[in-house]
Each structure stands twice: as C-alpha cells, then as structure tokens.
Amino acid sequence: MNRPIHRFMLLVGAAALLSLFTFACGGNSEDTDKPSPPRSGVEQAAPADQQKLVVHGGEPMFLDPQLSRTGQDIAIERMLFRGLYRIVLTEDGDLETQPALADGEPEVDGNVYTIRLKAGLQWSDGRVLTAADFEYSLKRGCSPDTMAPYQYLLGMGALNIVGCDEYLMTMGKSPEEQAAQRDKVGVKALDATTLEVTVAAPKALFTTYMSLWPTYPLRQDIIEQYGEAWTAPENIVGNGPFVLSEYAPKDHITLTPNQYWSLTPKPQLQEITIKFIDDTAAAMRAFQTGELAVAQVPPVALADLEADPSLAGEVIQVPSPRLWFINLQLGNEALSDENVRLALSRAIDRETLVNVIYAGAYSPATYWVVEGLPGYQGDKFDSIIGYDPEAAKAALAEAGYPDGQGLPTLKLTVVDRPDRKAEAEFLAKAWKDVLGIQVEIEAVDSRSMGQIFGTGQFDLLPGGWQNDYPDPESSLIGNFDTGGMNNLRGCSDPEIDSKLQAAAAEEDNSKRISLLQDAEDLVIGTLCGVIPLYQPSFVFLVSDGIGGIEPSGGIDASLPGDWCPECWFVKADE
C-alpha cells in the first residue's frame, strides 16, 4: 500500500493570503518562530555516526540562487541558503508562508515594507548575517551584470521593487551611471537587523515572493573575491542548514551540517550525498540494491512496485502542479509560423502518449495553468490545439508545407534516459505519420539540457514548468512577456504583455485571475513558444528507514520533502 501523502491546498488569491497575513500578525515573535517540520510521531533517530543518507538527484547547473531556474538547482540551494520567509506544509496539510529569518511579519506603511531580522543569525563561516546582506543580494538580482533569470520576480513582474527594472536597463552604461541607479533601487538596510523594501504598490503576495530562492541573502565579499568560482566547495558561504563539502562533477555532491545554522530544527543528518543519475530506471535499481535511500522511479514501474510486498510500503506518489510541454524556438523560421505550431500540436495524441509511455500515470493537457490553481480552464483548449490529424494536415498545408514538403528537418532535444527518448520517438513518429515531416532526436545529459535551453539554441525541447509559488501568475510572468527572463522561446505578443501588465497592477483578485486567463488564452491559442503535453505526478521510493520526509507537490523542488531537508533523519533500528 502506498505511503499516505498529506493533501496540499494551494492558497488561492489575495483574500486567502490576506487572511493568512492577519492570522500571522495576531501572534508574537515567539509564536511565529515555531517551525512546522514534518511530523515523525514517536520515531527515534539513530546515533549520529549512522546519520548518513544517499539520495538520487540531477546535477545542478548553478549553485548561485540568482542564476538558477531548475528544480535540481533549487533543491540543493534550499539546503545551503534560506530567506526571510518560507512556505511550509502544515499539520493540516495546507501550504502556509511563515517567517524564517524574519522576526515576524513585515510592518507595512503603504508601499513600504519593513522587515526585522531574528537575533543571532550567522553565516556558515560564523560571521553575523545582517540586513545589508539582503540589500546586496536583492540589488544584485536587479543588476545588469547578473542578468538573473528571475529578475522579473523582483521587478515589474511580481514584487515590483522601485528602481529594479531601471537598474537592469542600465546595461552598457558607465559604471557611474549604473551605481547611481543602483542606489535608487528600493531596498535599504536601515540598521543591522532592519530591512526596508519599497515597492510600486502594495503586494498581497509579498511574503510569498520573499520566500523564494532569488531573494536569499548572499555574501558580497565572497562573490567579489572569487567571482564565478564563489560556489566551489572551498569558497562558498551560505546560511542554510547544510554546507557544501564536496562536488564531484557528473557524479555527486556531499553536504554536511552547518554548525552556525540559526533556526530549528537542527539537522540530525551528518552527511547527505546526492548522486547524479539521469536515468530513473537506473536510480530504481540503485535503490533496490541499497545504494540509494531515496530515488525517483519511472511511473511505468508503479504497478509492479505496488505489487512487490518488499517495496510497496516504500512507494510514494506525489501529485504535482507541474506541466510537461514542448518548447518551440520561434526564432526558427518554420516554427515562427503559427500554422506549423498548430500542426505539430494537433498531430499529437496525448491520451495515447501518456498511456503507452507512462502507463496512464499522467493526465493529458492542452492547458498551461495547471489543475489545482485558481483560474484553471480545463479542457477549454482541446478543440483548438488537441488531437485532430485532419486539422493538423490542413494547418501544415496552409503554412505552405503540404504533407511536410519543403519543411526543414527539426531537431528534438531530450534528456538521455529511456522514458524521455521513448517519448521523443513517439512524437517523431506521430509527426512523420500524420504530417510527413522529419525530426532528428538529440539525447543529452540533464546539465547539457539546461545549458541548451539557457542559450535558446534549440528547435524543439521538451521541458517542465512547476510553479514557484501557488498562484497562476507564476505560470505566466517571465515565461511569455516580451523579454521575460525565462522566455527563451522568442514569444512576443503585445496583447499578452498588456494582459500580464494589467494583472500585475490589478488589486481585485477576481479581475486579476480573469486577466491571467485572458493571457493564457492568447498563449495557448497561438502556441506562443509552447505545446502542452501532460500534467505529471512523481513516483519515488523512500526507504522506510528514513524519517522526516513529507512530500508536497506544491513546494518540493526536486526531491520529496526537500522543502525541509533539515527535518530528515535516519531512524533507529527497531
């Protein structure tokens, strides 16, 4: 029988978040300092010398929180860094934003937020952590030198910190001009423990935004001393529950407890090793041989695992607010034609895809804002972009490529693992059979995949998007606005821009959601750089000898329960 998973409730809209804010404000700093770790009942931890854990993960592209955009990066960065607030899974199974390094909720005066830090905060080298570290980090996230992929979170797309976008736009200007604009960014350390953030307008989601990795504090002296090498194990200084002890490229990283970790709970694990394994089938075998204590496994193995009495109790299936889709590079002349994109989408039988490749474990999708979020529009787009071979052929002919004649060969770049290659072969066959077009499949490792996407050098590239916070704007901003930092597909539509800008400025939540739905209509109606495929869930094997892991599809980045890695422990023998 599967291990039970706590339900997760996505906090919907401004009203829910404002009621949460009021509840949090009602307590004192002692109350808000209480963590919400997973519940371990009466389970006892093994002795310290047995507190070692080896888990399965992907190799990170970056360990710099302001450069990261993938779950495999973020899962590790949560171990190394923490911010002012955090989203946690409560005992009721809900998601809630709580103070982390902040000493309670912010004081709000119009569009000015004042946050006080807890006493006794330290970096992993023992130096005192101050509000100035947050000022440096937030301004770095706006900097044209950083070109952070999540700059939009700090700028107009979300927080809308005064002067942030203007600072980004000083690219190419003199150092003096850049410094002058940097000083105008609305972030200021009033003293060692008080941070002031000025935004263009009040934000109901302020603490949620400030819980995300691009807002983590960073050490200016370390970054300036070591440059791009500042995240190497011998150089990096963080403030999270663990420190980076070893990084063996293409093999593993090892983390050990941060002796200066300022919050609770304190890590019981004395060592976490993350093995880089792209092939989930290989990870499953490594779990079965005892090499791994946690592994993501292929969904097609779920039925067999549940039927195996030795493994059934270690299976976890986690619902996910993630969408899997095909990235389309609109800089490609053929893919810039909306009819070509429509033909590709309408030639895909998503129902058969998920049944054949993933044993029916996933749900076919023709939407972008996923089920479980406010504004979810269900099967509205099926008749527009869903499976219809005749409509697909007609669209391709309308584009000037009847039966695929004259269409250049397209490259489909995927992660080199069996299920992703099988998916690619399914897609290539569908496009060949229905449309008569040729597709070349390129299989690469996961780190290379991130680099290829990051440079925009692809034709077709399957990928996943998981919301960074539980609100539909997280699905859209940065992905489809012109110049958005995660918009590496070339999507540019003034109507989409207008809807997203209007939503960002709208204080009425129902109107805001409606504007976001309008934006989604435009994105999916034109397939502006994406073709939705399915909404997945994830299947993991977690050793019954490990405690403290409570998955939440709403906030886990890559590993089950990685929203609180300091809660994990090895159980004592019974």
**How far apart, in whole angstroms, are the C-alpha atoms of residue 175 and residue 485?**
23
Say whether pLDDT at 33 is over 60. no
Q: How far is CA 245 from the centre of its chain?
A: 24
Say whether pLDDT at 272 is over 60. yes
Query: Predicted confidence band at 2 (pLDDT cuts at 50, 70, 90)?
Result: very low
Residue spans per domain, the chain: 322-535
Q: Tens digits of per-residue pLDDT, 153-184? A: 999 888 999 999 999 999 999 999 999 999 99
**How far apart, in whole angstroms, are the C-alpha atoms of residue 93 and residue 90?**
5
Say whether pLDDT at 309 is over 50. yes
> What percent of the chain has pLDDT above 70?
93
Query: Predicted confidence band at 42 (pLDDT cuts at 50, 70, 90)?
Result: low
Query: Predicted confidence band at 285 (pLDDT cuts at 50, 70, 90)?
Result: very high
Mean pLDDT over residues 334-353, rounded? 98
Mean pLDDT over residues 565-574, rounded? 94
Mean pLDDT over residues 37-45, rounded? 62
| Residue corresponding to tokens 């207008």 | 498
Q: What is the structure's pLDDT at 485?
A: 84
In whole angstroms, how far apart are CA 227 and each of 172, 223, 224, 230, 233?
20, 5, 6, 6, 14
What mean pLDDT, rounded, does the chain reach?
A: 90
Q: Tens digits of per-residue pLDDT, 180-207? A: 999 999 999 999 999 999 999 998 889 9
Q: Are 79 and 272 in contact (CB under 8 A)?
A: yes
**How far apart, in whole angstroms, are the C-alpha atoms of residue 270 and residue 280?**
26
Q: What is the CATH number of domain 322-535?
A: 3.10.105.10
**How far apart, in whole angstroms, are the C-alpha atoms of residue 297 and residue 283?**
7
Say whether pLDDT at 407 is over 60. yes
Amino acid 234 reads E
**How far apart, in whole angstroms, are the C-alpha atoms of residue 143 and residue 156?**
14
> What percent of the chain has pLDDT above 90?
80
Q: Tens digits of per-residue pLDDT, 453-509? A: 999 999 999 999 988 888 899 999 999 999 888 899 999 999 999 999 999 888 788
**What is the 3-class SS of 274-315, one letter each residue?**
EEECCCHHHHHHHHHCCCCCEEEECHHHHHHHHHCCCCHHHE
pTM for the structure as a whole = 0.78
Say whether pLDDT at 31 is over 60. no
Say whether pLDDT at 51 is over 50. yes
Q: Tens digits of per-residue pLDDT, 119-158? A: 999 999 999 999 999 999 999 999 999 999 999 999 988 8
* Of 22-26, 59-63, 268-272, the least confident: 22-26
Query: Predicted confidence band at 4 (pLDDT cuts at 50, 70, 90)?
Result: very low
Q: Are 247 and 98 in contact (CB under 8 A)?
A: no
Say whether pLDDT at 35 is over 70. no
**How far apart, in whole angstroms, are the C-alpha atoms of residue 353 and residue 347?**
12
Q: What is the structure's pLDDT at 505?
A: 83
Say whether pLDDT at 318 is over 60. yes
The continuous run of DSSP H or E covering 515 comes out as: helix 509-526
**How far apart, in whole angstroms, are the C-alpha atoms of residue 7 and residue 30?**
28
Q: What is the structure's pLDDT at 177?
A: 97
3-state secondary structure of 531: strand
Q: Tens digits of per-residue pLDDT, 211-263? A: 999 999 999 999 999 999 999 999 999 999 999 999 999 999 999 999 999 99
* Of 63-67, 82-86, 195-199, 299-303, the least confident: 299-303
Mean pLDDT over residues 44-55, rounded? 97
Q: Tens digits of per-residue pLDDT, 10-22? A: 222 222 222 222 2
Kindly compute the dihedral angle of the four CA atoms of residues 401, 403, 406, 410, in this order, to the nearest 10 degrees. 100
Say whether pLDDT at 561 is over 50. yes
Mean pLDDT over residues 528-545, rounded? 95
Q: Tens digits of per-residue pLDDT, 356-398? A: 999 888 999 999 999 878 899 999 999 999 999 999 999 999 9
**Around Cβ 93, how many Cβ atoms within 10 Å?**
13
